[in-house]
């Protein structure tokens, strides 16, 4: 990390700023290749944090490790101060850490409402005892969950397709469905893996508004993204990775000006363009 992008941010954090996610010493290797070697990584509660970097930087592997879809060789991480190192994805989801995927994972033969219902937490009818002896209870819960699922589909403009199979959706609509399903889990920390990838440009702004609204409702967001317009537009903090390590952390303006980030990822021309764009928006540090 370079002084220009870390000094002010670390000073703020040392003054008692609340963190929802912290990771230390996270390592992941495949054979002789070190894919992730992150000494320290934090996400401030109530923010939108972008994780950027070139292809092969280790972003997705780091995401997979943190969210229980891969196992680290070393390191620890906490969610809201609670150690969640190495927990599988379903247990992390129950504790409030939920993710989406770059390649959406909807069940094509199930309807949209059924896809969202899959994520409902604490379903009483799943256990043998609840299914046999708590029929009234789980039926009430099922009605409540279905109402909530339909509300989420309506929020994302998918309510008119609620009873259609997910396989009929476009790529952008599948992104919306996956966000609805993630919100059904009632996450405290939502991790989005390239949410704008493959999305029709007309839907990008819609997705951005949904991300802003989710944060406004109290959910912290960490997302991987290559589109620097998106990063500049909605991020409070930016973390840049390259070669498995963290190069810089700071505001979008700070990271865009960081010499290591420019050299490893942006290129001088793109960095100048982004800095100019920030200045026009009044966000220049």
Which pLDDT band, with edges at 50, 70 and 90, does 132 fall under?
low
Pairing of strands 19-30, 74-79: antiparallel
C-alpha 47/C-alpha 184 separation (Å) is 20
Please report the pLDDT score of residue 8 as a whole number: 42
121-130 pLDDT, tens digit each:
766 555 555 5
Q: Residue 229: CB partners within 8 Å, gap ≥ 6?
A: 277
Q: Does residue 217 have a pLDDT over 80? A: yes
Lowest mean pLDDT among 145-149, 171-175, 231-235: 171-175
* 237, containing H or E segment: strand 237-242
Using DSSP's 3-state secondary structure scheme, residue 119 falls into coil
Q: What is the CATH number of domain 3-106+174-281?
A: 3.40.50.300
Please report the pLDDT score of residue 141 as a whole number: 74
Burial 50-83 (b: 16+ CB within 10 A, else e): bbbbeeebbbbbbbbbbbbebebeebebbbbeee
CATH 3.40.50.300 residue ranges for the chain = 3-106+174-281
Note the Cα 21 to chain centre separation in Å. Answer: 12
Q: Does residue 79 have a pLDDT over 60? A: yes
C-alpha 236/C-alpha 42 separation (Å) is 13
Please report the pLDDT score of residue 96 as a whole number: 93
227-280 pLDDT, tens digit each:
888 899 899 999 999 999 999 999 999 998 899 898 888 765 555 555 555 545
Q: Does residue 28 have a pLDDT over 60? A: yes
C-alpha 38/C-alpha 36 separation (Å) is 6
The mean pLDDT value for 67-94 works out to: 94
Please report the pLDDT score of residue 270 as a whole number: 53
């Amino acid at each position: 990390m370079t002084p220009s992008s870390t000094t002010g941010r670390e000073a703020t954090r040392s003054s008692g700023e609340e963190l929802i996610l912290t990771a230390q010493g996270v390592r992941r290797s495949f054979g002789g290749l070190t894919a992730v070697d992150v000494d320290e990584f934090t996400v401030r509660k109530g923010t939108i944090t972008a994780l950027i970097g070139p292809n092969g930087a280790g972003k997705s592997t780091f995401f997979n490790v943190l969210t229980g879809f891969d196992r680290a060789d070393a390191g620890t991480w906490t969610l809201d101060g609670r150690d969640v190192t190495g927990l599988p994805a379903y247990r992390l989801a129950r504790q409030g850490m939920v993710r989406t995927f770059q390649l959406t994972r909807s069940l094509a033969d199930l309807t949209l409402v059924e896809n969202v219902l899959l994520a409902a937490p604490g379903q009483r009818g799943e256990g043998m005892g609840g299914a046999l002896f708590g029929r009234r209870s789980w039926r009430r819960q099922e009605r409540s969950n279905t109402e909530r699922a339909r509300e989420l589909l309506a929020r994302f403009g998918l309510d008119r397709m609620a009873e259609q199979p997910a396989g009929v959706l476009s790529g952008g609509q599948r992104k919306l469905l996956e966000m609805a399903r993630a919100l059904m889990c009632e996450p405290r920390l939502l991790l989005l893996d390239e949410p704008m990838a493959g999305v029709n440009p007309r839907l990008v702004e819609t997705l951005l508004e949904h991300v802003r609204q989710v944060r406004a409702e109290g959910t912290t967001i960490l997302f991987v993204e290559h589109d620097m317009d998106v990063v500049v537009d909605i991020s409070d903090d930016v973390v840049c990775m390259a070669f498995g390590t963290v190069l810089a952390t700071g505001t979008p303006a700070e990271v865009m000006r960081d010499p290591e980030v420019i050299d490893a990822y942006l290129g001088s021309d793109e960095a100048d363009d982004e800095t100019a764009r920030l200045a026009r928006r009044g966000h220049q540090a």
